[in-house]
Structure 1
Amino acid sequence: MSDPEITARARAWAETMAGHDHDGVVRAHSDSSLTMRPAPLVTRELREERERLLLRPGATVAEGAGHRARQEAPDPERTCFERDRDRIVHSAAFRRLAGKTQVVVHPTDHQRTRLTHAIEVAQVATSIARSAGVNVTLADAIALGHDCGHGPGGHASEDAFDAFIPEGYDHGPWGANVVLSGLNLCAETLDGIRNHSWSRPAPSTIEGEIVSWADRIAYCAHDLEDAIHAGIVTLDDVPKQVAEVAGRTRREQLGTFIRAVADTIDRYGTVGMEPAEAAALAELRNFNYERIYVRPASREQSRAVIEVLHALVEFYAAHPEAMPEPPDDDAGTETAVRAAVTYVAGMTDRYAFSSAVSELGWDPDRLPQGIDHGE
C-alpha cells in the first residue's frame, strides 16, 4: 500500500480488511466496546412459540405452515415466512422491478418504479399487520412479491400479453404461478401474491387481505404525489372529499388510511374500512384514474407499449433460439409462445425497448416516451 496515488481514504479503508481483534473476537470497529449478556439464540422454534403467544386469533402462524410444492426441511433459524421473504428479496425478479414502470415509462429520479412501489406497499402492510397483531413477516413477504408478475411498460403489458395467453394475462397469478415458481414459496405467500388484486378471489389469510388494501392505499397516494411533482395535477386539484377526510399529501393520506384499516380490524375483526374513509380512498383512485392513468398522454404511452411488446413476443415465438433458454418445442407452438411471453414479461423497460430496436429494427420514435413536466 505504498503507491503514492492511493489516497489516505482508500488506505484507511483497506486497513479494515481483516477487522479488529478484541481478545480473540474480530469486530468491525477498532473502538468497539458494547457487550451483551451471553444468551441462547432466538431460533425458529422460539419465534414460532412467540407467535402462538402474541398473535391475534385468526392470524397466520408459521408453525405448521410452510406448505411448499417441493417439501423442504425447516430452516434452523428462520420461520417459513421469513425464508420466503428472503428468497423474494434476493430473486432476480424482484431486482428487475427497479427497471419496470409504475405509472410512467422512463421515470425520473424521484418517480416510483415497481420496486419502490413494492417497498412502499410492504411498509403500509407491515404497519397495519403490526397494529392488528397478525403475522408481519407474511404480510411483508406477500407485499414485496406482489408485483413480480408485471411486465415492462406498466399495466399496458397485461393488455399486450392477453393476446397470447388463452386464459388472459394477470400479473398476480402470473407472478405466483410462473415468475416466482422456482423459489418454492409457501402456499400462503403465493396465495396472497396471486390474489392481491381486488378483481381476484379473496386471499385465504388475513395478511393477504391486508396486502390487498395496502397495495391500493400505497399506489393511490404515491401515484398522486408523482403526478403532482411532474406537473400533471396540483395539490389544489385533489377532490374535496379526499382532502377533508384524508388530507392532500401522501403523508396525510397514508396515515389516515393505514389507521382506518387497523381500526376496522380492531372494531369488527375483519379487514376493511368504514364507509367515510373507504369512500375517500375510492374517490382518490377515481381521480387518479381520470386525471393520470387515462389522460391522453397515458393512453398514447399504453398504445406504444402494446405495439412494441406484441412485436417482441411474436419475434421470440417465431425465433425461440434467440431466447437465452429456448423451449423444447418448435417455433410458433403454444409452448414457444408461452416461453416468449415469459421472457418478454421478465424484461425491464430499457431492455425490452432496446431489444426491439436491436432485434426488430424498431424505430426509436415509435417507442413509449417519458412525460414532460406540465404536460
Structure 2
Amino acid sequence: MSAHPEPTRLERPAPHERTAREDLEAISLAPGATRAEGAGRRAVPEAPDPLRTCFERDRDRIVHSSAFRRLAGKTQVFIFPRDHQRTRLTHALEVAQVARAIARGLRLNETLVEAIALGHDCGHGPGGHPSETALDPYLPEGYDHAVQGARMALGSLNLCVETLDGIENHSWSRPRPMTPEGEVVSLADRIAYLAHDLEDAVHAGIVKGDELPASVRELLGAHRGDQLDALIRDVIDQTVTKGVIGFSPAVAEAMADLRRFNYERIYDRPASRRQAAFVVALLRSLMDYLLANPTAVPEVAASPEPTRAAVAWVAGMTDRFALDVAKTWLGWRTEPPSARGEGL
C-alpha cells in the first residue's frame, strides 16, 4: 500500500545487494582506495550484511548512536550555541560533506570517509577543546578526544578497524591514518573548522572578513564558499599531480595564515580564555565530586576502573547537561561568562 494515490512505478528493479556494490567498487575506485570487500575486520566477528557493505553498516551505527546525537548539544566554537551557530553535530556533517567531495574527486571510498567523518568528534567533551585540558589529569595517558571517541564513546558499536583508525587518528597530532580515506578526513576536518569557525565569528561580530591576511583573501577568498571550493580543489589537484594527499605549498601556507588568524582573533581572545577557564573549572568540579561519590552514577560505581568510567561519563555530557548537573550536585548558580558570541 502506498501513501500516495498514484505511486511511482518501477520496472521490477533487482535489489542492489552488497556483493554487487563491492563488485562496482572493484572497478570504479582508484588503485590504493580502500575497498569494502575483504574489509569488515571487527573486534567481534560478524556475518556480512546482505544489503550493506561493512562501511555502510559502520556509518549507520554511528548515525544511530547516542554519542552522535549528543553532538547536537556540544560546543564547536561557541558555548551553548544559539541561532545559526555551529555545534559539534553540524561540524561533523560539514566535515563529511567536504571529505566526500574530495573522495569523489580522487575515486576513494566515499562511504568510509563519511563514516569516519561523522564519528570523528564523538569523543569531544562539553565546552569544546578546553574539556581536554579539564580531563587530562584524570587519565595517566591524558585525554585525547580522538582516542576517546574511537575507544570509548563509539567502542560498543564494534566498528571496522579502518573506521576506528580514521577516527582515532584524524587529529594532526596523532599518527597518520592507515587508509587514504582517513587522511582525507583529517584534511577535511581542518578545512571545515577553519572556514566555518571564521564564518560563525563574522556573524557574531567578532571579526570582519576584510581583516583576513592578504594571502588568505587572494588564494582562498574572504567567504566560506570560496574558501571551501579553493581548498577542496587544491587537495584534489595536488593529489592527482603528486600522488600524495595534501595541499600545494602556496595553499598550505595560506591555510596556516588562516589558522593563525583564527587563533589570534577567535580562539585565544580574552573572552574565549575566560570561558575556557569556566569549562575547566566546571568539569573538574564534576569529576572531583563523582570520584568522591561514585554511587551518584551507577555505571561508575560498578566499574572496575571508576576513574576512567567517570571520565567517560563526564565527557559524554552536553554543554547544558554538564551545567545542570553542577547546579544539582554542587549548587552552582553561575552561567558561562557572557561575551558577544560566547566564544570558546
When normalised by structure 2's length, the TM-score is 0.97
Whole-Å Cα distance in 1 between the matches of residues 254 and 79 of structure 2?
28
Report if aligned partners of 2:272, 2:342 keep a CA contact under 8 Å in 1.
no
Q: Deviations over 1:186-231 (max 9, x none)?
A: 0000000000000100000000000000000000000000000000
Report if aligned partners of 1:106, 1:370 keep a CA contact under 8 Å in 2.
no
Report if aligned partners of 1:220, 1:284 keep a CA contact under 8 Å in 2.
yes
Per the TM alignment, residue 276 of structure 1 is displaced from its structure 2 partner at its CA by 1.0
Question: Residues 139, 107 of structure 1: CA spacing in aligned structure 2 closer, same or farther, 3 A cutoff?
Answer: same
Equivalent residue, structure 1, for 2:140: 166
Relative contact order, CA 8 A, sep 6+: which one is greater? 2
Report if aligned partners of 1:309, 1:344 keep a CA contact under 8 Å in 2.
yes
SS of aligned partner of 2:138: coil
Whole-Å Cα distance in 2 between the matches of residues 70 and 264 of structure 1?
39
Per the TM alignment, residue 107 of structure 1 is displaced from its structure 2 partner at its CA by 1.5
Equivalent residue, structure 2, for 1:117: 91
Per the TM alignment, residue 373 of structure 1 is displaced from its structure 2 partner at its CA by 5.3
Instruction: Show structure 1 runs of 4+ deviating over 6 A.
Output: none
Q: Deviations over 1:85-130 (max 9, x none)?
A: 0000000000000000001111112110000000000000000001
Whole-Å Cα distance in 2 between the matches of residues 92 and 370 of structure 1?
30
Q: How many residues align?
A: 343
Question: Residues 325, 177 of structure 1: CA spacing in aligned structure 2 closer, same or farther, 3 A cutoff?
Answer: same
Per the TM alignment, residue 239 of structure 1 is displaced from its structure 2 partner at its CA by 1.1
Report if aligned partners of 1:106, 1:369 keep a CA contact under 8 Å in 2.
no
- Whether 2:319 is the aligned partner of 1:344: answer no
For 1:173, give the aligned amino acid.
V
SS of aligned partner of 2:46: coil
> Which of these residues, 142, 147, 161, is aligned with residue 121 of structure 2?
147
Q: Deviations over 1:3-27 (max 9, x none)?
A: xxxxxxxxxxxxxxxxxxxxxxx11
- Whether 2:21 is the aligned partner of 1:51: answer no
Equivalent residue, structure 2, for 1:310: 284
Per the TM alignment, residue 324 of structure 1 is displaced from its structure 2 partner at its CA by 4.2
- Whether 2:295 is the aligned partner of 1:321: answer yes
Q: Which moved more, 1:290-299 or 1:37-46?
A: 37-46
SS of aligned partner of 1:163: helix
> Which of these residues, 159, 169, 192, is aligned with residue 195 of structure 1?
169
Q: For the aligned residues, what is the CA RMSD? A: 1.3
Equivalent residue, structure 1, for 2:57: 83
> Which of these residues, 180, 186, 211, is aligned with residue 160 of structure 2?
186
Equivalent residue, structure 1, for 2:193: 219
For 2:196, give the aligned amino acid.
H
Unaligned runs of 5+ in 1: 1-25
Unaligned runs of 5+ in 2: none
Per the TM alignment, residue 37 of structure 1 is displaced from its structure 2 partner at its CA by 1.5
Written as runs of structure 1 = structure 2, the 5 A alignment for 1:272-287 is 272-287=246-261
Q: Deviations over 1:26-49 (max 9, x none)?
A: 1121133x3222132110000000
Identical aligned residues as a percent? 58
Equivalent residue, structure 1, for 2:325: 355
When normalised by structure 1's length, the TM-score is 0.89
